[in-house]
Amino acid sequence: DAGVTQTPRHEVAEKGQTIILKCEPVSGHNDLFWYRQTKIQGLELLSYFRSKSLMEDGGAFKDRFKAEMLNSSFSTLKIQPTEPKDSAVYLCASSLYRGEEQYFGPGTRLTVL
Amino acid sequence: GDSVTQTEGLVTLTKGLPVMLNCTYQTTYSPFLFWYVQHLNEAPKLLLKSSTDNKRTEHQGFYATLHKSSSSFHLQKSSVQLSDSALYFCALNTNAYKVIFGKGTHLHVLP
């Protein structure tokens, strides 16, 4: 089975731009997660989907971050508009169901200038 | 609310010594506990998991026992290797839908 794939692997954006990150979960997995990872804050949950339904929208990330599951095998994370403080690694993960391990993608490293 | 607390910051050890990384949690639900390891420039991947009280689980020389009485799931290894240098996360999954990660512990193994 293919693992979680994420594109692009690296993204450089100017402040104020809109960027879209993409994720394909492991086939058959029901849960999909988006995280932001920084050295200071660690792993922060941005969004959580169960069977394509949004279960968690990350609270503080609501205003400029929007995740969608277009179908069971594809998800996007839109950041609009980007700010320099958004510079981080964005990780997508999927799991078969609650209580099972999460499989992480390689991440997208975002730099906002 | 649900929470996870783990040894924070950097743990530096010489190769061959034992290590224990602490993880404690709080939840009113039935817990699933995980340890993930993330090597430099790689994605986190599962190291250990457990939901069974007082049962030791092992993988790649690492081991941990879930103790519900003390709400703990400490990660141990009897002899660390240079390749164990990485970032380690403890994570809690409950009957609710949230997965909560600890802040992470950097393990640095010296020759």
Residues 6+ apart with CB under 8 A from B49: A101, B32, B33, B34, B35, B57
Cβ contacts of A99 on chain B, cutoff 8 Å: 32, 51, 93
Q: What average pLDDT does range A94-112 have in this prediction?
A: 90
Residue A99: which of B32, B45, B104 has the nearest Cβ? B32
Is the Cβ–Cβ distance between B57 and B50 less than 8 Å? yes
pLDDT of residue A59: 74
Q: Do A99 and B101 touch (CB under 8 A)?
A: no
Q: Environment class of residue A3 by beta-carbon count within 10 Å: exposed (0-12), middle (13-18) or buried (19+)?
A: middle
A5 interaction partners in chain B (CB closer than 8 Å): none
Q: Which residues contact A59 (CB under 8 A, 6 or more apart)?
A: none
pLDDT score recorded for residue A110: 97
In angstroms, the CA B37 to CA B40 distance is 10
Residue located via tokens 């700010």: A83
Position B2 scores a pLDDT of: 87
CA A95 to chain centre: 14
- Taking CA–CA distances from A103, the nearest residue in chain B reads B45
| Per-residue confidence (pLDDT) for residue B97, from 0 to 100 | 65
Cβ of B43 within 8 Å of Cβ of A106? The answer is yes
pLDDT band at B55 (very low <50, low <70, confident <90, very high): very high
**What digits encode the pLDDT tens for the residues A47-96?**
999 888 888 777 777 789 999 998 989 999 999 999 999 999 999 999 98
Cα radius of gyration rounded to whole Å, chain A: 13
Average pLDDT over residues A32-43: 90
Q: How far apart are CA A33 and CA A75, in angstroms?
A: 10
| A66-76 pLDDT tens trace | 999 989 899 99
The DSSP line for B25-85 is: EE-SS--EEEEEEE-TTS--EEEEEE-STT-EEEETTEEEE-BTTTTB--EEESS--GGG-
Chain B positions touching A26 (Cβ under 8 A) are: none
Sign of CA dihedral B69, B74, B77, B78: negative
Cα separation values, A88 from A8, A57, B74, B83, Å: 14, 18, 29, 25
Instruction: Give the whole-angstrom CA distance, residue B67 versus residue A39.
Output: 30
